[in-house]
Amino acid sequence: MKGRRRTVKPRRRKRAAIRYILRLYVTGQTPRSRRSIENLRKLCEKYLKGQFDLEVIDIYQQPALAAEGQIIAAPTLIKTMPLPLRRLVGDFSDQARVVLGLDLKTT
């Protein structure tokens, strides 16, 4: 095989997907709580498909977690990862505000 060169292409490593860790604090099964859960799940499926963990915490059933998270209003969303930590309050119906608040890349 003289004269033939074989070029070896370097293997491209797949980037590890950024995983979003989200905690949503709600007050029972009120209409506002249900609406915030539904709106947030839709948004996550649209912008973070397969890249998020969403934990819903009812502050009536788990008040210690609410105290630990320093929750003073509900519904409150806390994004713990990736940094920086972000807090949003509301029903998350304004998707543009939530995308901006969570610093999501929408390319």
Rounded to a whole number of angstroms, the distance between the first and last alpha carbons of the chain is 47
Is 90 within the bounds of a domain?
yes
Quick one: pLDDT at residue 18?
86
Is 8 within the bounds of a domain?
no
Q: pLDDT tens, 27-70? A: 999 999 999 999 999 999 999 999 999 999 999 999 999 999 89
CATH number reported for the structural domain that contains residue 27 in this entry: 3.40.30.10
Task: Tell me the residue range of the domain where 48 lies.
Answer: 20-101
Is 61 within the bounds of a domain?
yes
CA distance 58 to 94: 22
Q: How many structural domains does the chain have?
A: 1
Is 64 within the bounds of a domain?
yes
Quick one: pLDDT at residue 2?
59
Is 5 within the bounds of a domain?
no
Give this prediction's pTM: 0.79
